[in-house]
Homo-oligomer: A and B are copies of this chain.
Amino acid sequence: MIIVIRPHATKEQIAEVIAEVEKLGYTPAPIHGAAQTVVAAIGDERTHANLESLSVLPQVESVLRVQKRFKLASRESHPKNTLVDVAGVEVGGAKFCLMAGPCSVENEEQLLSTAEAVKAAGATVLRGGAYKPRTSPYEFQGLGKEGLRLLALAREKTGLKIITEVLSERDVEHVAAVADILQIGARNSQNFQLLIEAAKTGKPILLKRGMSERVEEWLLAAEYILAHGNPNVLLCERGIRTFETYTRNTLDLAAVAIAKKESHLPVIVDPSQGCGRADLVVALCCGAIAMGADGLIIEVHPHPAEAMSDGQQQVDFAGFQKLIETIPPFLRAVNKSV
């Protein structure tokens, strides 16, 4: 780390900083500029104390980090792309992964008809929420275990792999018994206890980026999973909070390229949550592919206007078919295929 000393600090004040740096386990290397002094603290920033605490000293102007905070998730530590095996479906390679299905599992008819439709169109993974995190307690909270039973049934009937969200440490075990991928939602993106519990199952984990999470923080959340022995992490960009009100969120497609550059983990994009409007989904899918995404997770519903949750962002079967017909040239441009 670099400790920037204020101009006009006394020798004693500088010596105090140097002594603290040493006491906290780093080797201090002071550099005296014309206007002010900086002290470089040599040592591993991940394993030593965080020297930002030194900014409480009146003579310290600021403390700057030098090293990256994430390691296992970093491209440096693992230069090749990680391929995640989802019950036989490989994610992160030349095969582009299409996950699709309803926001919430509502009933057998709704889920199975959607599963068949998305399978026919080329999806390999079925999404569907059994446990739903809803902003208001008065909104539909999902079918719970009955939803899981229907997801298992849909897999049996179609062969699609299953991705579904887990909201609670207590549910991890029984959700993992059904799911091929455990989804951690944006609201739980820094619920580290849930991440650790999910990591222990060894199942692939789709980790959504938090609503106002910096890419570094997102990768550090992934680091929690990796550091608990589970290398099967799929990063998922799903839109961030900004001042824009036309869309529910602002899908941050630049973050896809950043995550691919800084990390070796596959990146999935959720355009449905990412904008909250069905009419933008196709365009965002094209953009996501061009930015280097390894897959898409798309909300599809037989009749979105009457969906029990987030109908406004779900495409119907015809809409999904249109999407499937639109993306091939973009996939070819990045040397991928469904």
Contact = CB atoms under 8 A, between A and B. Distances in A.
Interface of A: 2, 4, 7-8, 20, 23-24, 29, 31, 33-36, 38, 40, 42-44, 46-47, 49-50, 52-57, 63-64, 66-67, 69-70, 76, 133-139, 167-170, 187-188, 190-194, 210-212, 214-217, 220, 223-224, 227-228, 240-247, 250-255, 257-258, 261, 274-275, 277-280, 283-284, 286-287, 289-292, 304-312, 314, 316, 329-330, 332-333
A134 B190 CA distance: 9
A310 B241 contact: no
A168 to B, nearest CB: 4
Given A136-B69, A283-B257, A42 B31 contact: yes
Contacts of A228: 137
A86 to B, nearest CB: 24
B261 A308 contact: no
A53 B187 contact: no
A191 B188 contact: yes
B212 A211 contact: yes
Contacts of A251: 253-254
Nearest to A42: B33
Nearest to A53: B311
A11 to B, nearest CB: 18
A301 B109 CA distance: 59
16 contacts: A20-B305, A46-B136, A46-B138, A47-B138, A49-B306, A49-B308, A50-B311, A54-B311, A56-B304, A63-B312, A69-B136, A167-B191, A191-B194, A245-B245, A246-B258, A258-B280
Given A136-B46, A306-B23, A286 B333 contact: yes
A158 to B, nearest CB: 25
Contacts of A279: 56, 261
A187 B56 CA distance: 25
A110 B139 CA distance: 45
Given A54-B305, A257-B284, 11 more contacts: A7-B76, A23-B306, A33-B42, A34-B44, A36-B66, A53-B310, A63-B312, A241-B243, A253-B254, A254-B274, A257-B280
B214 A243 contact: yes
Q: Select the residue from A46, A253, A254 with max chain B CB neighbours within 10 A.
A: A254
A162 to B, nearest CB: 21
